[in-house]
Structure formats: C-alpha cells, structure tokens
A and B are shown apart, each in its own frame.
Chain A
Amino acid sequence: MAKVHVVHYLNQFFGGLGGEEKADLGPQWFDGPKGPGQLLQTLAPDIEIVGTVTAGDNYMAENTDAAVDEVVGLIEKNAGAEIDLLLAGPAFNAGRYGMACGAVCQAVQERLEKPAITALYPENPAVDIYRKAVTIVRAGSDVMGMRDAVGGMVAVAKKLVEEQAIDPATDGTISRGLRQNTFAESTGAQRAIDMLMRKLRGDAFETEYAMPVFSRVPPAPPVKDLSSATVALVTSGGIVPRGNPDRIESASASKYGEYSLKGLERLTPESHQTVHGGYDPTYANQDPNRVLPLDVMRDLEREGRIGRLADTYFATVGNATSVERAEQFGREIAGKLINFGALAVILTST
C-alpha cells in the first residue's frame, strides 16, 4: 500500500504551545508531526503526517465557523493536493477540544471531500453532535488512554482510506446511529425462529432493531375565532399542479412544493394530479379535491365560517419518507405558515 498522507489537528496543549494561557491562539501550520502525531508515526510507519494544524481551545470555541474556515484554509494551502485523510485529537473527554475536532473533521469531509477521524470519550458532549457525520474512535476519558486511542485511529484510518466499511462492533468506533444494510448468514425466517427459540428458552437474544422513541408534539390551543382566522391547506397526499413542476418523487420525497390557490374555486383533473406512490391514485386524479379539499374550503370561506383560505398550499408525498425528512419539512412549512399569518391548518394525509 502507498503511504497515507495525513494532516493532524491538535489543540494548543497537545501541539506543545502551552496550556490554558495559550487557549486564545489562532490556527497555525507546522510541517510534520507534533505531540501525539509522533506516537502515531512510530505506530504506523506507512502513515506520513505531512503537517499539523494547531489552534487554541478558546479561539475555536468562540467563533467556531470562522475559525474552522481558517483551519481548512491552512490545510488547503499547505497540503491541498497531498492529503488523503485528516486526523483530529484524540480529545478524550475535553469539551472544547472535542467540539473543535468534530467541527474540523466535518468541514474537511464536506469541503475537501477527504475522510476524517477523531477519537473521543463516549461521554464527550461532541459525540452527540458529530457522531452521525464523523467517524469517532472510542477513547478513554484522559491522556492515560493515548496509546489505545492513537492505535485505534491508525487501524480505522487504513480502512477508511481503502474505502472499507467500518463496523463499531469490531473496529472500536462509536456508533454513528446509522442503519446500514448487510447480508446475514441465514435468511430472515431462520433468524426469526432462532430468536424466538432463544426468547422462549430465556436465553440472551439481540433484537435487530431496537424500538425508537418517537418525539411527541403537544397540540396547539384551539383557535378562538375561526371566522376571522386565515386557514391553510397542507397535504402529504401528493396533490400538485398537473405536470408536477417541482418533480416531487412518488416515494421518499426529498422536497415539498408550495403552490398558489389564488383565483381557484376547485381543483380539476386538468389542473391538478397526485404523484403519491403509496396509494391508489385513481380517485384522487378523478377529483383532486378529495385529497386537497379546496372546494369545501371555498364554501366555508363564503359561509363566513373561516376568515379566509391562505393563498398558498403546501404539498409533499408522505410515502416511505423518513421521519427525519418529515420533521424538516414540518419545521420549514410551519415557519412559512406563521409568516402568512395562518392560525390554523387542515392537514390531509392518505
């Protein structure tokens, strides 16, 4: 294997620049390894640390975005063409240092498109924030765990550079909380029966999917006077203007659309359609008001039962859409509805 070229990120202390009194130092570039990088270099001769970036803990914590920009700029300038991988830390249970390591790793992955690894104690607050985006090797709580942490980083670094899959169970990394497909030795039916037999015998068994805990949204208080309220329509039933101008997907929608209802009395098969792939579209396409009840809302408006119907409606496809994506849509749509002055929403699903 060719030598792996690494840039190493350290704080002022591990970079040998000083203690807390030097925590305000800005990012600096040094050629070659420093501190833990020297240990790493002896453990893994096939890894070459081309340079080290150091920065003070307070400097990074106080203006993280700009500081990370500076760090990435230094790496690009001094090692841009050479770098295969970034290592940051180990930062053990150090809060500010851990946060800086996480932020630098994430920025290098996104902007330089190179893998990045840090090593943290599982209870370091940076773990919760960066575990999903960054590969984190499990480290001890303090510098006593240096040798193990650096060794762990070396092993994972080689796998990442060779684009091998990382398995927390065997590679000593902290789980990223991501579900990843893999082929088991036996079929699902065989595994189910084996698991049931263990459960019946009272033996230990491990579920393949631990039940998540759903977040609950407390209902908003009732609208005091509906006859003066602006009411909006939002649907996950995939009703869009005919032709699907935003190309919303029939499943696992990556977006939602916002469309005007101005001047429309009712939807027609010529004006609107459904793009939802999870239910029989026949009846929604015959009469799209069945899913997005514009006709009834106009009646209510005329009868004075609602103040008015918002001019814009929002639509997406709620079919195999991940909960995370749905939460994001919900937050964004709610923000826009508040800007419209909407006091109530009719949310139709299918």
Chain B
Amino acid sequence: MPLVLHKHAVAEVGIGTGSGFQQGRLTIDREALVSYVRSQVSRVTDVRVGIARPGEATRIVCVKDVIQPRVKKEGAEAGDGILCVLENVAVVTCGPIVGFQEGIIDMSGPGAEHTPFSQFPLIVLEIDVVEGLDPHLHEEAVREAGLAAAGFVAEVCRDTEPDEIEMVALTEISTEADLPRIAYVYPVLCQGLLHDTYVFGRNAKEGLPITVAPEVVMDNGVVSGNCVSACDKNTTYHHQNNPVIAELLRGHGSRWNFVGIVLTPAPTRLAEKENAAKAAIEQVVQLKAEGAIVSKEGFGNPDADMMMIVRGLEQAGIRTVGLTDEFAGTDGGSQSLADTTPEADAIVSTGNANERIELPAMKTIFGPLPDVTRLAGGYPHSLRDDGTMEVELQAIIGSTNELGFGRLTCREV
C-alpha cells in the first residue's frame, strides 16, 4: 500500500486566538498549544512560544530538535494511508542546555546561510522542565514536547484541501529495464547516553539493521533523540525529509533501480559495530544491489561504522559512495577523519565543521544565550559583550549535514 502525502504550503505563521489554517496562513493559539503540550508531558513546567521568520534579526540557541508538523489522517500502519504535511514551517524546541550539543539557528546574516532552517518560519518552543530533572529525562521531556507540539500544529490541516498530493511507494522495476540497482545504507546513532534515535517508536538499539521501504521512513519512522554536535545531528526534520531517499525516488525507474533502505545502528562497542556492519552488508547483498549510498550521523566514533560498512560492501563487489563531514581543524590543515579505509575511494564531503564563523548580534533571542559558550563548537570566549560571537560551524544546526541536505563542501587549497 502506498503512503499518500497531502502537502499544505504555509506562507505565513502568526499567533492568534484559535488555531487555524486558511489560504496559506497558519495561526497558532498559544494558550491551547501550551496547555496541550503540558497535558502530554507532565515534566514540562513552562513553554514560551514565539515565531522566528526568515530575514529577521533572530537567533535561536540551544536548539534540541526541529520537527515538521505532520498528522496521519488515514491508515494505522507505518507507510500506509494519508499523511497530512505542513510544508515550509517547522517546530523548533530549545531551552537550557542538556548535553553540550544543542545548536544555533540564525534567521539572517552569515549564520543563516549555513542552516536550512532559516528559509521558512519556525514555531519556537522554549521549554522549561521540573527542577532537578535528570538529563536523560530532561531530553525525553523536550523530545516528547516537540513531537506533541508538531502533532498539535499539524491538526489544522487535517480537513483542508491539500495544495499537492504525492504518492510514495517503491514499485518493483522489471529486471529487463537493465538499470543499476542502488541501495541506501542509513545509519542512525544509538550509542545511548543522550545519543539515541527512535525507529518506529523504539530505541534504535534494538531490532536494527532492517530493510525498509522509503514510505515507511517518510511516515515519521525515524525520530531524533540525540545530542550529537549541531552541525551533523540529523534532526527529526532531516529524517522526515531525508534527501538521499528523495533523490533516489526521483530517478527510480528512469535512471536507476532504487532497491531499498537498510536502516542500521551506530552503536559504541567495537563488537557491536562489527556485528551491525556485517548484518547491514548482508542485507544489502540480499537486495542484489550493485551500488550503495552510505550516509552518516555524528563524527569520530561513527567514522568507524562508516568505514566498516564501506569496506565490507566494496569487498562484496558493491560500489559505494560515502557522505561525511570533516573535522580538519580551524585552519583546515589536519586530517579530517578519525578512521579511514582505502576502499572509501568515493567520498562526498559536506564541509569542515571546525571552520570558524563570525556571527553578528541579533535583536531577538530565543533560549539562554550565555549557554552558547558551552556548546560543542562554541568557546568560553565565543560570546562578546556586544552580542557578536565567533563559533565553529559545528555549533550551527544542520551546517554539515551528512545526509547531504545542504550544498556545503570542502576543497583543498
């Protein structure tokens, strides 16, 4: 069964009385949203709701997640039925630091060029939780609050005519078509300790790798619960709009034969990594793939997972391209990865996350600004008294996304 996406284009977002959606204008009832979130997540004590718009002098700090509002209109199974989607808008959760890896979104200036989330209006939730809450429960509370808010917002389009309808179903291509068979290996972080991803509502530590169809992933199949550095953390929005899946679907049946997605875990222990890589490679072999795209999340530790997968696939005769960012030092003069393999001869670089960027002061700030000095990619001296700051790209949400969402790359000079 296919997944049918009912897409609703949002042109404008505002706060008002009574939530609604008319002719592209989305209205959020602040009181109703806040009381809904609090009713769903008891550990949340306060939520401040604001709107950040493209081009505004607005900075959002300690961003935990970005979520596209979506609601299931019909169908109980993942990857089946009608999913209503609000396009060109997202819910952003932020608030006091949990780990060190929350990030920055600037709505204008040089920082805005490095995050995809400066391009459309954002519904920003600054979330406070009960005092003394353990960091893991804090992360969980903020994650659940964001998902609840996105669901609440999406309800407005449940009964509205969509602007666009898209069917997503991976159809079989006749082998006579003689198109190259391409698989997608999609690793998700599941290292525990604030580095977790949830697949179909369960921690990705269990039950992976699995071979899934794109419509299943696109039906909110993958949710971020992790605090890896902002630059290459795959937010829930990135999972919902995975660009590798979108591109592979676009050329499916005409330029290549997209044979499936292998969702695979990126755990911490070496033996777990080896087992996961081996199992993922077997599944790609089962798909009779001739080539595979391997994406990534995080850096350092996950470099090892990527290299194992690439090596194993190439040795099995399956050609690979890996997507990774680089940590080449602020001057770009260092080696970029913590692990390498000679088989990884085709790499797409999504940029050097250590490169520094100067950010201007902003008029409107969401979240606790002084915490930027403690973020991964910030420095104790990052924030100056006049509100300007210097950070590494590492601190900006989605700046070196390793699903290949953006256009940033790195060259040798």
Out of B100, B135, B340, B381, name the residue touching A277 (CB < 8 Å).
B100
**B394 and A196 within 8 A (CB):** no
Q: For residue B254, give the distance in angstroms from its CB to the closest CB of chain A.
A: 12
**A189 and B404 within 8 A (CB):** yes
**A207 and B346 within 8 A (CB):** yes
Chain A, interface SS category: loop
CB-nearest residue of chain A to B242: A189
- Complex CA gap A325/B319 in Å reads 34
What number of residue pairs across chains A and B have CB atoms under 8 A from each other? 240
Chain B residues 98 to 120 lying within 8 A of chain A, measured CB to CB, are 99-101
- The 0/1 profile, CB within 8 Å of A marked 1, for residues 224-262 of chain B is 000101000000000000011011100100011000000
**A249 and B379 within 8 A (CB):** yes
B328 to chain A: which residues have CB within 8 Å?
A: 178-179, 322
**A208 and B410 within 8 A (CB):** yes
Out of A181, A186, A250, name the residue touching B376 (CB < 8 Å).
A250
Q: List 28 interface pairs A-B (beta carbons < 8 Å), by A numbering.
A: A132-B333, A168-B412, A169-B411, A178-B332, A179-B333, A179-B412, A181-B352, A181-B393, A183-B409, A184-B407, A184-B409, A185-B407, A187-B243, A188-B402, A188-B404, A189-B246, A193-B248, A195-B346, A209-B324, A209-B347, A211-B347, A250-B376, A251-B394, A280-B135, A282-B135, A282-B136, A322-B328, A325-B329
- Complex CA gap A283/B375 in Å reads 19
- Do A165 and B413 contact each other (CB < 8 Å), given the known contacts A193-B293, A212-B340? yes
**A208 and B407 within 8 A (CB):** no
B58 on the A face (CB < 8 A): no
- Do A324 and B333 contact each other (CB < 8 Å), given the known contacts A190-B404, A319-B300? yes
A320 on the B face (CB < 8 A): yes
- Do A189 and B243 contact each other (CB < 8 Å), given the known contacts A181-B351, A182-B409, A250-B100? yes
- Complex CA gap A132/B380 in Å reads 28
Out of B377, B408, B412, name the residue touching A252 (CB < 8 Å).
B377
A188 to chain B: which residues have CB within 8 Å?
A: 243, 323, 348, 350, 401-409
Q: For residue A328, give the distance in angstroms from its CB to the closest CB of chain B.
A: 10
B324 to chain A: which residues have CB within 8 Å?
A: 209
**A180 and B229 within 8 A (CB):** no
CB-nearest residue of chain A to B402: A188
- Do A197 and B255 contact each other (CB < 8 Å), given the known contacts A209-B326, A209-B336? yes
Known: A247-B381, A280-B99. 20 other contacts (CB 8 A): A178-B332, A179-B412, A181-B351, A182-B408, A183-B407, A185-B407, A187-B247, A191-B409, A193-B321, A197-B291, A211-B345, A212-B335, A250-B100, A250-B378, A277-B99, A278-B100, A280-B195, A281-B100, A325-B329, A325-B334
**A181 and B394 within 8 A (CB):** no
B342 to chain A: which residues have CB within 8 Å?
A: 211
- Complex CA gap A282/B380 in Å reads 21
- Complex CA gap A168/B321 in Å reads 25
Q: For residue A350, give the distance in angstroms from its CB to the closest CB of chain B.
A: 10
A199 on the B face (CB < 8 A): yes
B377 to chain A: which residues have CB within 8 Å?
A: 251-252, 320
A247 to chain B: which residues have CB within 8 Å?
A: 380-381
B327 on the A face (CB < 8 A): yes
CB-nearest residue of chain A to B135: A282
- Complex CA gap A107/B340 in Å reads 36
Out of A179, A192, A211, A277, name the residue touching B375 (CB < 8 Å).
A277
B73 on the A face (CB < 8 A): no
B346 to chain A: which residues have CB within 8 Å?
A: 195-196, 199, 205, 207
Out of B330, B405, B412, name the residue touching A187 (CB < 8 Å).
B405
A166 on the B face (CB < 8 A): yes
- The 0/1 profile, CB within 8 Å of A marked 1, for residues 208-234 of chain B is 000000000000000000010100000
Q: For residue B369, give the distance in angstroms from its CB to the closest CB of chain A.
A: 16
Q: For residue B404, give the distance in angstroms from its CB to the closest CB of chain A.
A: 3
- Do A207 and B345 contact each other (CB < 8 Å), given the known contacts A251-B377, A319-B376? yes
B46 on the A face (CB < 8 A): no
Q: Which 5 A-B pairs have the closest CB atoms?
A: A188-B404, A277-B100, A189-B404, A322-B329, A322-B334
